[in-house]
Structure 1
Amino acid sequence: MVGAATNGREGVELAEKLRPDVITMDYEMPVMDGISAVREIMRKHPIPVLMFSSLTYEGARVTLDALEAGAVDFLPKNFEEIARDNSQLQKILIERILDVARSRPGNRSPAPSRAEPSTPASRAPEPAGRPRPEPAPRQRPDTRAPAAPAGSPGETEAPRRHGRRGPAKHYAVVGIGTSTGGPVALQRVLTVLPATFPAPIVLVQHMPASFTPAFAERLNKLCRIEVRQAEDGDVLRPGLALLAPGGKQMMVENRGGQARIRILPGDERLNYKPCVDVTFGSLARSFPGKTLGVILTGMGSDGKEGCRMMKQSGSDIWSQDEKSSVIYGMPMAVAKAGLTDDVLSLDEIGPRLAEGVC
Structure 2
Amino acid sequence: MTDSIRVLIVDDSAFMRRAIARMLTADPEIEIVGSVGDGAQGLEAIRTLQPDVVTMDIEMPVMDGLTALKKIMDETPLPVIMMSTLTQNGATATLTALSLGAFDFVPKPESSMIDVLGVERELREKVRAAAHSRRSKRRLTGLHGTASVHAATLGHQAPAPAAAKPQAPVAPTPSVRPAGSRVPEVIGIGISTGGPPALQSLFSALPGDFPVGIVVVQHMPPGFTKPLAERLNRICPMTIREAMDGEVVEPKKALIAPAGTHLVLKREGSHLVCRTMDASTTKTWHKPSVDVLFASIAQVVGPKALAVIMTGMGNDGTAGATAIKGRGGEIWSQDEATSVVYGMPRTVFEAGVVDRVLPLGSIPTALTTLVGSS
Considering the TM-score relative to the shorter chain, is it more than 0.5? Answer: yes
Match for residue 171 of structure 2? 162
Bigger Cα displacement from structure 2, 269-278 vs 252-261: 252-261
Q: 3-state DSSP class of the match of 2:77?
A: coil
Could you tell me the TM-score, scaled by structure 1's length? 0.82
Q: Cα distance, 1:269 vs. partner?
A: 1.5
Q: Cα distance, 1:13 vs. partner?
A: 2.0
What are the equivalent positions in structure 2 for 1:39-50 lying under 5 Å apart? 39-50=70-81
Q: 3-state DSSP class of the match of 2:59?
A: coil
Match for residue 71 of structure 1? 102
Match for residue 148 of structure 1? none
Match of residue 11, structure 1, among 42, 49, 71: 42
Match for residue 240 of structure 1? 253
1:85 and 1:245 map into 2 onto residues whose CA distance is 20
Q: Is the 8 A contact 1:299 1:330 kept in 2?
A: yes
Q: Is the 8 A contact 2:173 2:362 kept in 1?
A: no
Q: Is the 8 A contact 1:161 1:341 kept in 2?
A: no
Q: How many residues align?
A: 312
Q: 3-state DSSP class of the match of 2:228?
A: helix
Q: Is the 8 A contact 2:106 2:122 kept in 1?
A: no
Match for residue 129 of structure 1? none
Match of residue 84, structure 1, among 114, 133, 154: 114
1:237 and 1:87 map into 2 onto residues whose CA distance is 40
1:295 and 1:51 map into 2 onto residues whose CA distance is 24
2:168 and 2:350 map into 1 onto residues whose CA distance is 6
Q: Cα distance, 1:259 vs. partner?
A: 0.9
1:16 and 1:75 map into 2 onto residues whose CA distance is 24
Q: 3-state DSSP class of the match of 1:195?
A: coil
Q: Is the 8 A contact 2:217 2:256 kept in 1?
A: yes
Could you tell me the TM-score, scaled by structure 2's length? 0.79
Match for residue 140 of structure 1? none
Q: Cα distance, 1:99 vs. partner?
A: 1.9
Structure 1 stretches of 5 or more lacking a match? 113-157
Q: Is the 8 A contact 1:159 1:340 kept in 2?
A: no
Match for residue 58 of structure 1? 89
User: Relative to structure 1, is the Cα distance of residues 292 and 90 closer, same or farther in structure 2, using a 3 angstrom cutoff?
Assistant: closer
Larger proportion of helix: 2
User: Relative to structure 1, is the Cα distance of residues 85 and 306 closer, same or farther in structure 2, using a 3 angstrom cutoff?
Assistant: closer
Match for residue 145 of structure 1? none
What are the equivalent positions in structure 2 for 1:195-234 lying under 5 Å apart? 195-234=208-247
Match of residue 153, structure 2, among 104, 108, 114: 108
Q: 3-state DSSP class of the match of 1:35?
A: helix
Match for residue 361 of structure 2? 347
1:89 and 1:244 map into 2 onto residues whose CA distance is 22
Match of residue 197, structure 2, among 184, 191, 196: 184
Q: Is the 8 A contact 2:80 2:104 kept in 1?
A: yes
Match for residue 37 of structure 1? 68
Match for residue 266 of structure 1? 279
Bigger Cα displacement from structure 2, 20-29 vs 37-46: 37-46
Q: 3-state DSSP class of the match of 2:73?
A: helix
1:160 and 1:314 map into 2 onto residues whose CA distance is 21
1:242 and 1:26 map into 2 onto residues whose CA distance is 30
Q: Cα distance, 1:89 vs. partner?
A: 5.5
What are the equivalent positions in structure 2 for 1:276-315 lying under 5 Å apart? 276-315=290-329
Match of residue 327, structure 1, among 341, 348, 351: 341
Q: Is the 8 A contact 2:102 2:154 kept in 1?
A: no
User: Relative to structure 1, is the Cα distance of residues 263 and 188 closer, same or farther in structure 2, using a 3 angstrom cutoff?
Assistant: same
Match for residue 289 of structure 2? 275
Q: Is the 8 A contact 2:173 2:366 kept in 1?
A: no
1:22 and 1:348 map into 2 onto residues whose CA distance is 29
Structure 2 stretches of 5 or more lacking a match? 1-5, 7-32, 135-148, 158-166
State the one-letter code of the partner of 1:99.
Answer: A
Q: Cα distance, 1:255 vs. partner?
A: 2.9
Q: 3-state DSSP class of the match of 1:4?
A: strand
1:305 and 1:312 map into 2 onto residues whose CA distance is 10
Q: Cα distance, 1:87 vs. partner?
A: 6.4
Q: 3-state DSSP class of the match of 2:189?
A: strand
User: Relative to structure 1, is the Cα distance of residues 75 and 86 closer, same or farther in structure 2, using a 3 angstrom cutoff?
Assistant: closer
State the one-letter code of the partner of 2:343.
Answer: G
2:226 and 2:363 map into 1 onto residues whose CA distance is 24
Match of residue 267, structure 2, among 227, 243, 254: 254
2:300 and 2:187 map into 1 onto residues whose CA distance is 12
State the one-letter code of the partner of 1:199.
Answer: V
2:246 and 2:317 map into 1 onto residues whose CA distance is 23
RMSD, aligned CA: 2.0
The one-character-per-residue Cα deviations of 1:239-291 (angstroms, maximum 9, x if unpaired) are 11010000000001113221111111113521110000110111111111111
The one-character-per-residue Cα deviations of 1:101-150 (angstroms, maximum 9, x if unpaired) are 222452133769xxxxxxxxxxxxxxxxxxxxxxxxxxxxxxxxxxxxxx
Match for residue 171 of structure 1? 184
Q: 3-state DSSP class of the match of 1:274?
A: coil
Q: Cα distance, 1:94 vs. partner?
A: 2.8
Q: Is the 8 A contact 2:156 2:338 kept in 1?
A: no
Percentage of identical aligned residues: 43
